[in-house]
Structure 1
Amino acid sequence: MIQLAINKHLCESQCTPVEASASAWKGSTTWTAGDTHEASITSSYIWDTSTSGKTYFFHPDVQIDGDEYPSDGSLQYQTTGYQWSLSTSRATDLDTVRCDTDVDTTGGCVFPNYAPTYTFNAARYPQAAAHAWLIQTFTPKSPGSKAVGTPLYYLGDTTKSDRNRDRMCPTGWAADNGDTSALDGPTDVRLNCDEFPFGASYNSGGMSADEGGINPAVPDDSTSGVPSGAACVQTYATLVDGTMHVYNLNGTVPSWTEVCGRSAMSDRDNQGSMSVFGGAYGFSKKMRLMDKDAYWLNTAMSGHCASANANSTSVKCTMSATN
């Protein structure tokens, strides 16, 4: 016969285990030979949220002891202990918990070594989703692709993200290069420049390596070394025979070695695709993203593609929303 018990909880300073009583078990904690039933218990941990602007890393742990009682008397009674996690590595352990009162003062916790996924509403905002899908699928860095393993890294500094966007999308670029047929309804009154990867990421083409960027878009003819949207795949959305298309900008031909994209499209599509990312109740707050945290982008688009001919670098795809 084996009987289980929880005899030890472990947690760092600022974190206090709440010891559950034996009556908290669901199911019997005693097993006999051949018995395969299940038993479970929930252990709670309380952490200190009294100070704002704090971040803590916890490694909640528990030791389960098993008392063994040999039925035939041939062995002596013995106790074995099993500790859930003996590791102390916060850098990679998936059971590391990060709790903070920095993202908001009420506090909350996440598993920081798990990257969450932001999903576009491609059915509602197809132009933005199609553009991100194009860049994610056909450029070498595949930004935000979970399948390839190349996450986006959140940039929490709005001043830096605004700078990145200004470099990728100068004022007036969309109006000068777009097609008003992409506008979606009477309230959608202006074209907008959509940059991908996002300006609020370390993957932004507008962020130089010296500034901490991992994906700078520096034109081959640049003497200043300052990133520019001119080094990205440049496209515009346009309506053709009732179907929305994304074409390369006149005078530009993508080589598909670019690390980013910018596209002139509907303001409604561009803004709407990211409308639930920020804000008090958006993705970044719910996932408690902090500077340099990784996350994936699911464009919710699929595409059937064919090249114009065997020697062509052109990309021709029919895309459809998956949500």
Structure 2
Amino acid sequence: MAHVKLIVPQTGELLGEAWLTINQQIDTKNTDVNFGEDFFLRVQAVTGLLINGFNVEIKSECAPKAACGQGQGPWTGPAPVALLTEKEGTWQRYWKNTTGFDTLMLEYTLTASYANAKGSYSWGVSQNSGWQVRCDKQVANNSGCVIPKYTPTLKIPSRYNLARQYIGMVQASMSSHPGWEGKGQPLHRESNDTVARNNRGIICDSTFTADPATPSPAQCDEFPFAKSKESGAQQGVTSGKSCQQYMVLKDHLGNLDLVWPGLNQGKMPPANAKCARASMTKVDNEGVGGELGRKTKQWRLLGGDAYWVDAGNNQ
């Protein structure tokens, strides 16, 4: 909510006040260096002479100018408004460089005026790092831009139901609730392939044996992912035998079920475990891995960037 006071410059008299709702949405979904921003304004309340209507103008700076270009604002010049008036429009911006790395910084100033009285309200990156746009060519060799403050969510597709159940059970039973938004902390991308291979080698070491009841070819499926900094191997685990252990089995009706071995004894998976591994079907294990890889490119995740994992626990 923006609040502006209009003061008569000659006398210092308060001419009126206005409260305005402002909604903004920056869209960096394109895979190139262009991105837009939808801007919406609504006059919620006014006092004094502003009840008769007034003008509003919005200006934005995208810095550094050597790296950021932008078109005209959502409307040109001062625009007349009154109580409950709505104004909206779009900024078009682009990253001038096609290689390297830049952090673009957005700042805004809204000015309200009536006769010779003016009042302004400013916001942007100087107050909140959420008004930063990161542009680079460090993901999949394509140039693009993202909002680094935004944490995306990897939704495990229902077609990989066994892996979805597995991740959901790990998130619910492990005290750290890895990657579960609202319960735990997000996962963070491990971009070093050598480190990721080492993570997998430790969690899926020689102590892992695919359960013969898991449809062949069964695979070792670890969570948190080997390509995350939350992998058990990066939390001090020296062997996957200390992880929670799961398996996919075929029941007497021929259906595939995810099983925790201690369930028949009324035991729950150890909450203090730092990792989990499962004897998983190839299609589910590789399917989720492929989904993570595709989203890593789409979201332009760099090393250490955060993301949530949604396995249906919040539904």
Q: Secondary structure at the match of 1:167?
A: helix
What is the distance in 1 between the residues matched to 2:301 and 2:144?
11
Deviation string, structure 1 residues 30-54 (Cα, Å, up to 9, x no partner): 024xx32211232233322333xx2
Tell me the residue number matched to 2:30.
Answer: none
Deviation string, structure 1 residues 275-298 (Cα, Å, up to 9, x no partner): 2221xxx10010000000010000
Which residue, 299, 302, 308 being the options, matches 1:287?
Answer: 299
Question: Does the alignment pair 1:25 with 2:72?
Answer: no
Question: Does the alignment pair 1:190 with 2:223?
Answer: no
Which residue, 179, 182, 188 being the options, matches 2:212?
Answer: 179
Mapped contact 1:55–1:101 kept (Cα < 8 A): yes
What is the distance in 2 between the residues matched to 1:30 and 1:262?
62
What is the distance in 1 between the residues matched to 2:144 and 2:80?
36
Tell me the residue number matched to 2:157.
Answer: 121
**1:120, distance to aligned residue in structure 2 (A):** 0.8
Deviation string, structure 1 residues 236-257 (Cα, Å, up to 9, x no partner): 221222341413279x974322
- The residue correspondences of 1:267-282 to structure 2 (distance < 5 A) are 267-278=282-293, 282=294
Q: Kindly, what percent of the aligned residue pairs are identical?
A: 25
**1:16, distance to aligned residue in structure 2 (A):** 3.2
Residues 101 and 86 of structure 1: CA distance in aligned 2, closer, same or farther (over 3 Å)? closer
Mapped contact 1:234–1:249 kept (Cα < 8 A): no
Measured on the aligned residues, the alpha-carbon RMSD in Å equals 2.7
Residues 101 and 300 of structure 1: CA distance in aligned 2, closer, same or farther (over 3 Å)? same
Mapped contact 1:233–1:261 kept (Cα < 8 A): yes
Q: Secondary structure at the match of 1:237?
A: strand
- The residue correspondences of 1:82-161 to structure 2 (distance < 5 A) are 82-85=121-124, 87=126, 93-122=129-158, 124-161=159-196
**1:172, distance to aligned residue in structure 2 (A):** 7.9
What is the distance in 1 between the residues matched to 2:61 and 2:207?
60
Question: Does the alignment pair 1:235 with 2:246?
Answer: yes
What is the distance in 2 between the residues matched to 1:268 and 1:301?
22
In proportion to residue count, which structure has more helix? 2
- The residue correspondences of 1:238-277 to structure 2 (distance < 5 A) are 238-242=249-253, 243=255, 244-248=257-261, 254-277=269-292
Mapped contact 2:62–2:69 kept (Cα < 8 A): yes
Tell me the residue number matched to 2:6.
Answer: none
Residues 174 and 249 of structure 1: CA distance in aligned 2, closer, same or farther (over 3 Å)? farther
What is the distance in 2 between the residues matched to 1:139 and 1:155?
21
Q: Secondary structure at the match of 2:220?
A: strand
Residues 106 and 275 of structure 1: CA distance in aligned 2, closer, same or farther (over 3 Å)? closer
Residues 14 and 126 of structure 1: CA distance in aligned 2, closer, same or farther (over 3 Å)? same
Residues 5 and 237 of structure 1: CA distance in aligned 2, closer, same or farther (over 3 Å)? same
What is the distance in 1 between the residues matched to 2:86 and 2:133?
27
Which residue, 155, 163, 177 being the options, matches 2:198?
Answer: 163
What is the distance in 1 between the residues matched to 2:146 and 2:245?
37
Mapped contact 2:130–2:150 kept (Cα < 8 A): yes
Residues 59 and 28 of structure 1: CA distance in aligned 2, closer, same or farther (over 3 Å)? closer
Query: Which amino acid is 1:163 matched to?
Result: N
What is the distance in 2 between the residues matched to 1:255 and 1:8?
53
Mapped contact 1:129–1:301 kept (Cα < 8 A): no
Unmatched 5+ residue regions in structure 2?
1-52
What is the distance in 1 between the residues matched to 2:69 and 2:110?
14
Q: What TM-score comes out, normalization by structure 2 length?
A: 0.74
In proportion to residue count, which structure has more strand? 2
Question: Does the alignment pair 1:47 with 2:95?
Answer: yes
Residues 232 and 99 of structure 1: CA distance in aligned 2, closer, same or farther (over 3 Å)? same
Q: Secondary structure at the match of 1:206?
A: helix
Q: What TM-score comes out, normalization by structure 1 length?
A: 0.72
Which residue, 64, 81, 98 being the options, matches 1:12?
Answer: 64
Mapped contact 2:171–2:178 kept (Cα < 8 A): yes
Mapped contact 1:237–1:247 kept (Cα < 8 A): no
What is the distance in 1 between the residues matched to 2:110 and 2:173?
50
Tell me the residue number matched to 2:236.
Answer: 216
**1:84, distance to aligned residue in structure 2 (A):** 2.8
Q: Which moves more between the two structures, 59-68 or 287-296?
A: 59-68
